[in-house]
């Protein structure tokens, strides 16, 4: 049983380009959470999705960021018109139910560098 798969592991984008980060949850998991990690701030919640639904996007910046979790395929975190401040490690986690506290597993992360 493969773990949570994120790709790419490293992504370099120029300012103004789009970044697409993909997350395939563990088999049997239908809940996905995206987090951003900055060195001085720790893990910050961005968005929580179930298949085809955004449940909680209270941590998402209002502009340029969007997320989806389609019926088929991985969850996608999209960042449009990237800026230097978007450089960070982006992690997704998945869980079988609505209990991220005790049942969630994290992926290895995507490290985004904006140049």
Sites of contact with other proteins (CB under 8 A)? 4, 6, 33, 35, 40-45, 48, 56, 91, 93, 98-102, 104-109, 111
CB closer to other proteins, 72 vs 102: 102
Residue placing its CB nearer to other proteins in the complex, 15 or 27: 27
**Which CB atom, from 2 or from 14, has the smaller least distance to other proteins?**
2
Smallest distance, other proteins to C-beta of residue 31, A: 8
Q: List, as own/partner pairs, every contact residues 35-38 make where C-beta atoms lie below 8 angstroms and the sequence separation is at least 24, other chains included.
A: 35/90, 35/91, 35/92, 35/93, 36/88, 36/89, 36/90, 36/91, 37/88, 37/89, 37/90, 37/91, 37/109, 38/88, 38/89
In 3D space, the residue among 30, 48, 39 whose CA is nearest the CA of residue 92 turns out to be: 48
Token look-up 């975190």 returns 77
For other proteins, give the closer residue by CB, 17 or 100: 100
Contacts of 72 by beta carbon, 8 Å cutoff, 6+ apart:
none
Q: How far is the CB of 30 from other proteins (least distance, A)?
A: 13
Nearest approach in angstroms of CB 77 to other proteins is 15
Question: C-beta of 109: minimal distance to other proteins in Å?
Answer: 5
């Amino acid at each position: 049983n493969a773990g949570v798969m994120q790709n790419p592991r490293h992504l370099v984008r120029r300012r103004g380009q789009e970044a697409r980060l993909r997350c395939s949850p563990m088999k049997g998991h239908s809940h996905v959470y995206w987090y951003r990690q900055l060195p001085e701030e720790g893990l910050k919640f961005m968005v929580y999705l179930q298949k085809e639904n955004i449940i909680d996007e209270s941590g998402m910046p209002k502009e340029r960021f969007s997320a989806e979790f389609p019926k088929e395929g991985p969850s996608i975190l999209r960042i449009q018109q990237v800026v230097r401040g978007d450089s960070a490690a982006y992690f997704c986690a998945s869980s079988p139910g609505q209990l991220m506290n005790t049942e969630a597993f994290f992926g290895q992360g995507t490290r985004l560098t904006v140049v």
